[in-house]
Amino acid sequence: MTQDNLTEVMEFILLGFSDLPNLQGFLFGLFSVIYLSILIGNGLLIFITKTDPVLQTPMYFFLGNFSLLEICYTSVTLPRMLADLWSPKRSISFLACAVQACFLYILGAAECLLLTVMAYDRYVAICKPLFYPLIMNHKVCVQMVVASWMTGVPVMVVETYQIFSLNFCGPNEINHIFCDAPPLLKLSCGDASNVAVSVLLLALSFVTIPFLLIFYSYVKIITTILKLPSSSGKSKAFSTCSSHLIVVGLFYGSGSTEYLWPNSRQSAGASKVLGIFYTTVTPMFNPLIYSLRNKDVIASMGKLLPKSHRS
């Protein structure tokens, strides 16, 4: 990149759902309800994992941090999407677009790494139960969470700088619901092949490698569970892992398709659907998945009901 390769575009237009003019009000109401449910559901998980003595274990410590991450991740895209649905003006400044993309990548990388940490926690708990308190002590858990949040920061800042250092001199309409690399690269006036390769390599690093580590962890977990003598022990072990596996499948399924599948084979509509899925649908279902499939979480939420009646 050279210093004279400066952008001539001062703002972008996020097309979003502009091709559905008759559904703007309905979509605004729908996504408002979804955003509110994400805030309430994940906020409730954060509250009970911090306050209930029964849930003061590494698994729920990671779950509380994951719920906070889901709120932050969704808040990068959904408020802006709601503003675009409410107002006919869909412009976003060049700087605001860069900031949104940067936080989207940082938090996306953090989610991949935190899901890997959660898989490792389940691996140690089931495959090495006698050493679990020693290996997964509080200091180690905090270090893992901090590493998950911070590892992607320098890399994604540099990557965002590379993307927005491209020459944008032509059309400024982003056919997407938020600022993202694939649609932005299509708007570049110059050769963006090097940046496209860099984006792909980063996606491979932060999506494929964590996924392979998660896959390996669950191969070892399932192998260990199948060796358990009692059926009740197998059922309990599977129940503690199934929630995490569902979230991994939802997030990685949509995210990997978006970033690892050739852009030429994806329509703009499909890209928008995938974007909604991994930034909105997964955070929305996260509290439901963990509460409906976890007796401890259900019991903890049940304790809140008598308190609210007494107040």
Handedness of CA 214, 297, 251, 163 (dihedral sign): negative
Q: What pLDDT was estimated at residue 7?
A: 45
Look at residue 293 and tell me whether its pLDDT is greater than 70: no
DSSP assignments along 24-61, one per residue: HHHHHHHHHHHHHHHHHHHHHHHHHHHH-GGG-SHHHH
Name the strands in the sheet holding 91-93, side by side, starting at the edge strand that comes first in the sequence. 91-93, 11-14, 173-174
How many Å apart are CA 270 and CA 121, to the nearest integer? 34
Look at residue 117 and tell me whether its pLDDT is greater than 90: yes
DSSP assignments along 206-222, one per residue: IIIHHHHHHHHHHHHHH
Look at residue 264 and tell me whether its pLDDT is greater than 60: no
Handedness of CA 75, 78, 79, 80 (dihedral sign): positive
Q: Are 104 and 77 in contact (CB under 8 A)?
A: yes
Confidence of residue 3 (pLDDT cuts 50, 70, 90): very low
Look at residue 127 and tell me whether its pLDDT is greater than 60: yes
Mean pLDDT confidence for 26-35 = 91
239 closest CA partner among 225, 223, 220: 225
Q: How many CB atoms lie within 10 A of CB 232?
A: 8
Tokens found for residue 4: 């004279």
Q: Give domain 11-310's CATH architecture.
A: Up-down Bundle (1.20)
Q: What pLDDT was estimated at residue 4?
A: 47
Mean pLDDT confidence for 212-234 = 81
Position with higher pLDDT, 85 vs 250: 85
Helix boundaries (H) for the chain: 24-51, 58-86, 94-127, 132-135, 138-150, 152-164, 181-187, 193-203, 209-226, 231-260, 268-276, 282-292, 295-310
Q: What pLDDT was estimated at residue 226?
A: 82
Q: What is the pLDDT of residues 36-54, one digit of tens each?
A: 999 998 999 899 889 888 8
Q: What pLDDT was estimated at residue 116?
A: 92
Residue ranges per structural domain of the chain: 11-310
Q: What is the pLDDT of residues 13-24, one digit of tens each?
A: 888 877 777 888
Among 122-131, 167-176, 278-287, the range of highest mean pLDDT: 122-131
Confidence of residue 239 (pLDDT cuts 50, 70, 90): low
Angle between helices 209-226 and 94-127 (to 10 degrees): 20
Look at residue 295 and tell me whether its pLDDT is greater than 70: yes
Q: What pLDDT was estimated at residue 106?
A: 93
Q: What is the pLDDT of residues 165-196, one digit of tens each?
A: 888 887 888 888 888 888 888 888 877 888 88
How many Å apart are CA 77 and CA 35, to the nearest integer? 10
Predicted TM-score (pTM) of the model is 0.85
